[in-house]
């Protein structure tokens, strides 16, 4: 994900009203979970190389329904949501391209099958992402509908076998739409348009899928279209354990030491069980820390994309919607240039602030 693209993606999620978004070919290193502007980002990439990578982004409304996440590898990640009456497992994938060797493709499907097999049987499953496969226009009972595109290829056969073995159906082949809302990828020159991204769902919950289509007007600088599915499903919120306060230990006031000493002096040390005495000492330390030591405040991350750069994003979206490829490419390059400049300026400002603080002591 290039400079500033996460902010653009969050903006599109808000504009299009998306609760859960999957990302393929993220190109981040490592794995983890963090929060950005009330959006929860769960991601997994390679350890040292910016290749492949997947992520799931959950907005604030659904974040309290997340039971946990499983970063399987740099091509597969899942989250589990607390549902009513059953839970929901959402899996994001980035399948190998058709040019990959057989071993890489086999490893991908073996890993995906392991994750599906480990999912509780009662869960409903949704699997979404870039499958790099064409399932074609010929419908297959229970798996695809009448609105697939193109001719099926070998990768499409493998995907269909996976669906057959796991009682899944491909949702975006089941709803009649104009072709521009069916294809999911466009070649850089605009000559080729293909349907290679899919959202799969459990067959027994077919009636819960109200609509699946692309949103050609949405834009984050990708050659893939935003593919959305509307699920009708009730979710419950989990009871979150409050995180313990993190105290500022760099400047402990004298009052804390005095109060702790006074309470320690009053302890009864005779004939006490060690565990009981330890619990009382621990409670004294925690109680006085909460009373006398200020907490660390987590600073909000600054938004480093400038207003002018965000205007370029809006212009780029309009160019994409109007089909103006040349203008879109020019604006995309301009956005990348400005985003790099904005980030460099933001980092330089932070370094300058650190230097100023050091000079002040």
Separation of CA 219 from chain center? 17
Better-scored residue on pLDDT, 228 or 334:
228
Dihedral pair phi/psi, residue 202, rounded to 5°: -60, 135
For residues 175 and 320, membership in a common domain is answered with no
**pLDDT > 70 fraction of the chain, expressed in percent and rounded:** 94
Query: Is 80 exceeded by the pLDDT of residue 101?
Result: yes
Quickly state the pLDDT bin for 222 (edges 50, 70, 90).
confident
Q: Coil, helix or strand for 258?
A: helix
Among 268-277, 330-339, 346-355, the range with the most confident prediction by mean pLDDT is 330-339
Mean pLDDT of 275-304: 77
For residues 226 and 155, membership in a common domain is answered with yes
pLDDT tens, position by position, 68-92:
999 999 999 999 999 988 999 999 9
Sign of CA dihedral 128, 134, 136, 141: negative
Measured distance CA(198)–CA(111) in Å, rounded: 18
Question: In total, how many domains does the chain have?
Answer: 3
For residues 163 and 100, membership in a common domain is answered with yes
What is the pTM assigned to this prediction?
0.75
Sign of CA dihedral 248, 41, 74, 217: negative
Within a domain: residue 247?
A: no
Q: Coil, helix or strand for 128?
A: strand
For residues 108 and 211, membership in a common domain is answered with yes
User: Quick one: pLDDT at residue 226?
Assistant: 95
Burial class (CB in 10 A: 0-12, 13-18, 19+), 29: middle
Within a domain: residue 26?
A: yes
Within a domain: residue 341?
A: yes
Element of type H or E holding 70: strand 66-73
Within a domain: residue 300?
A: no
Quickly state the pLDDT bin for 118 (edges 50, 70, 90).
very high
User: Quick one: pLDDT at residue 3?
Assistant: 54
Closest-CA residue to 67 (of 52, 56, 83, 80): 80
Residue with tokens 């990439």: 45
For residues 259 and 169, membership in a common domain is answered with no
Mean pLDDT of 292-311: 73
Measured distance CA(273)–CA(4) in Å, rounded: 58
Measured distance CA(79)–CA(320) in Å, rounded: 31
User: Quick one: pLDDT at residue 33?
Assistant: 94
pLDDT tens, position by position, 147-176:
999 999 999 999 999 999 999 999 999 999
| CATH code for the domain in which residue 205 is found | 3.60.10.10
Phi-psi region of 38 (alpha: psi -120 to 50; beta: other; left: phi over 0): left
For residues 312 and 174, membership in a common domain is answered with no
Question: Does the bond joining 133 to the residue before it have cis omega, within 30 degrees of 0?
Answer: no
For residues 193 and 315, membership in a common domain is answered with no
For residues 92 and 182, membership in a common domain is answered with yes
- Average pLDDT over all residues of the chain: 88
For residues 115 and 24, membership in a common domain is answered with yes
For residues 270 and 331, membership in a common domain is answered with no
User: Quick one: pLDDT at residue 361?
Assistant: 55
Element of type H or E holding 198: strand 197-202
- Please enumerate in sequence order all residues whose Cβ is within 8 A of that of 151, keeping only pairs 6 or more positions apart, or say none: 134, 136, 137
| Angle, CA of 40, 186 and 208, to the nearest 5° | 50
User: Quick one: pLDDT at residue 301?
Assistant: 55
Query: Which of 244, 264, 292 delimits the end of a domain?
Result: 292
Closest-CA residue to 229 (of 218, 244, 214): 214
For residues 36 and 106, membership in a common domain is answered with yes
Within a domain: residue 158?
A: yes
Residue with tokens 């978004």: 21
* Radius of gyration from C-alpha coordinates of the chain: 26
Within a domain: residue 297?
A: no
Measured distance CA(215)–CA(332) in Å, rounded: 19
Q: Are 175 and 213 in contact (CB under 8 A)?
A: yes
Query: Which of 246, 262, 292 delimits the end of a domain?
Result: 292
Query: Is 60 exceeded by the pLDDT of residue 299?
Result: no
Q: Which domain holds residue 124?
A: 5-235
The tokens of 301 are what?
A: 């991350």
Q: Are 18 and 33 in contact (CB under 8 A)?
A: no
Within a domain: residue 242?
A: no
Within a domain: residue 46?
A: yes
Intra-chain end-to-end CA distance of the chain, in Å = 38
Phi-psi region of 323 (alpha: psi -120 to 50; beta: other; left: phi over 0): left
Quickly state the pLDDT bin for 37 (edges 50, 70, 90).
confident
For residues 263 and 159, membership in a common domain is answered with no
């Amino acid at each position: 994900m290039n400079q500033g693209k996460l902010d653009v993606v969050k903006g599109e999620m808000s504009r299009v009203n998306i609760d859960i978004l999957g990302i393929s070919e993220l190109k981040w290193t490592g794995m983890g979970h963090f929060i950005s502007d009330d959006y929860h980002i769960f991601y997994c990439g390679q350890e040292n190389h910016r290749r492949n990578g997947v992520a799931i982004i959950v907005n604030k409304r659904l974040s309290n329904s997340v039971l946990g996440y499983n970063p399987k590898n740099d091509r597969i990640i899942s989250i589990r949501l607390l549902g009513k009456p059953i839970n929901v497992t959402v899996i994001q994938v980035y399948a190998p391209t058709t040019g990959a060797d057989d071993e890489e493709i086999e490893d991908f499907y073996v890993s995906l099958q392991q994750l599906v097999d480990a999912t509780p049987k009662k869960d409903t499953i949704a699997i979404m992402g870039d499958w790099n496969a064409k399932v074609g226009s010929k419908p297959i009972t229970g798996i695809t509908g009448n609105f697939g595109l193109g001719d099926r290829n070998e990768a499409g056969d493998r995907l269909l076998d996976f669906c057959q073995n796991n009682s899944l159906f491909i949702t975006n082949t089941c709803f009649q739409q104009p072709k521009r809302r069916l294809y999911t990828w466009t070649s850089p020159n605009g000559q080729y348009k293909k349907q290679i991204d899919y959202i799969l769902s459990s067959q027994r919950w077919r009636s819960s899928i109200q609509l699946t289509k692309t949103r050609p007007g949405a834009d984050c600088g990708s050659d893939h279209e935003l593919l959305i599915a509307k699920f009708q499903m009730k979710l419950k919120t989990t009871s979150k354990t409050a995180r313990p306060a993190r105290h500022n230990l760099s400047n402990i006031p004298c009052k804390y030491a005095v109060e702790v000493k006074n309470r320690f002096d009053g302890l009864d040390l005779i004939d006490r069980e060690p565990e009981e005495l330890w619990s009382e000492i621990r409670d004294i330390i925690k109680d006085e820390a909460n009373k006398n030591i200020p907490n660390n405040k987590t600073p909000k991350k600054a938004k480093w994309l400038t207003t002018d750069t965000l205007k370029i994003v809006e212009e780029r979206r309009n160019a994409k919607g109007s089909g103006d490829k040349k203008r879109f490419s020019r604006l995309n390059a301009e956005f990348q240039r400005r985003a790099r400049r904005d980030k460099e300026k933001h980092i330089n400002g932070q370094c300058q602030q650190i230097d100023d603080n050091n000079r002040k002591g």
